[in-house]
Structure 1
């Protein structure tokens, strides 16, 4: 049985608006849990070692990886230090204990590898290329969310102090873990918990539970029903168990977790495994 004790939080940062709000959420947790918040900025190797550099070098008529990629890497590292400096100033203003560091690597892999030392990871729903994303999620974000084993807080484009926590509950182990974490968060955040189950019709109930559950009858989809309920509350946070363990079933039917991530709901979300 997992025990949730937030002592160290990792927040992945870049130069996007989503990242700014992610930092605000992470620092709010850091202050209310009295824990350390570490900021990680990843200099993406794909930007200076990928096919784009090969193609650009060919067009411009010079050999790749001699000067251009080294200069680009240096520029990206300088930009990363500026981003972390802004984070440091925000953390100091909030009197939150913090550290910050830069890593060079592939973004999702680096975040996941670093996350093993932390109790929760905060990440923005979109990155610096948000305006060019075809889907709702950035590709780096989606890959990170799928790989990470720790609870992950996905911040949307608005920040607020959380007052209500909506736990999507279906009796699965991951939903039970989400409920345990919700109880921990509710105490420090001074938030109210709402345990919600979305059912196909009004006769369905969950067996073998003494929880006080709010049953919602599905109107459009489970994701839409949960989002609509959460948005009826003040300053809500959605908390869900992770993806279905049956990946084949998930590929065919999709998952509620992924559906909520892909919608423009403007709701913060914690995913728990």
Structure 2
């Protein structure tokens, strides 16, 4: 049996992560590991930070008091984490998911997720992190680091998860897009769903042949695929398509260019994660 890693934090996206996890776990089927990570500095490092911030003349008693406050905040964070995990279990069980494991860890968020993904087949994360209310159009740095580094498929949960009846593949014939196509052809995740592949760019013979080959590949698996070519820039065209289509999930390859090129000219992956308000499955 496969295993899903559901990564939750204190953001409003925790419920969406649980709902999308339940959808995937029911279709695959899979067991679920729910992960919550508390990231904090050591007391020694915090004390040094305070010393630099408030000056050399401060009394040591104040520094000790600040350290006690931080330790109390750490205990509250642990308790809040337990409550968050308990709520996640309740929500998942209400959706019929009972094969659950809880993981409450301290340390680096990105590093812990990448460590736990080694024993999982699929990751589920929220579209924004714990400061989601302050960054409506910004992709959290930790989420982006996971997406760029992870070797596993990642489901990105929007603020509200709806029913999924149709899957749209952003297809460009690249390596990761072909892996996504293979997954559409073979995974029970997409069984009995309406499948569609779209290419955004010039309508020419090469691109029509590319989509025809994708259609044949899906047909040989016993499933059906419709295809289309749309004109324009991929990011706004795909985002508009997703916004105009109900009950839809987007599948796309993740970060097809080098990190240096993405740094200079930006990334279609990052832009679409920011712009699309539906569930997204990223394939490396």
Q: Which TM-score applies when normalising by structure 1?
A: 0.86
Partners of 1:245 and 1:217 in 2: how far apart?
22
- 1:214 matches 2:227: yes
Where do 1:6-85 residues align within 5 Å?
Answer: 7-46=2-41, 54-55=49-50, 59=54, 61-63=62-64, 66-85=67-86
Greater helix fraction, Structure 1 or Structure 2:
2
Partners of 2:209 and 2:10 in 1: how far apart?
47
Corresponding position of 1:168: 170
Corresponding position of 2:154: 152
1:136-156 per-residue CA deviation (whole Å, 9 max, x = no partner) reads 212221122111110011111
216 and 52 in structure 1: CA distance in 2 versus 1, 3 angstrom threshold: farther
24 and 198 in structure 1: CA distance in 2 versus 1, 3 angstrom threshold: same
Shift of 1:231: 3.0
RMSD of aligned C-alpha atoms? 2.7
Partners of 1:85 and 1:200 in 2: how far apart?
50
Shift of 1:66: 4.8
Corresponding position of 1:248: 260
Partners of 1:186 and 1:198 in 2: how far apart?
27
Corresponding position of 2:122: 120
Shift of 1:64: 7.8
Partners of 1:66 and 1:8 in 2: how far apart?
40
Aligned length: 266
Corresponding position of 2:238: 226
1:153-205 per-residue CA deviation (whole Å, 9 max, x = no partner) reads 11111111211111111111100111122234565553111011111355662
90 and 49 in structure 1: CA distance in 2 versus 1, 3 angstrom threshold: farther
Contiguous gaps of at least 5 residues in structure 2: 216-225
202 and 131 in structure 1: CA distance in 2 versus 1, 3 angstrom threshold: same
Shift of 1:47: 9.0
Contiguous gaps of at least 5 residues in structure 1: 1-5
Q: Which sits farther off after the overlay, 141-150 or 128-137?
A: 128-137
Higher gyration radius (CA): 2
1:225-270 per-residue CA deviation (whole Å, 9 max, x = no partner) reads 112223333311101111024223222332221110122x311111
Q: Which sits farther off after the overlay, 25-34 or 100-109?
A: 25-34
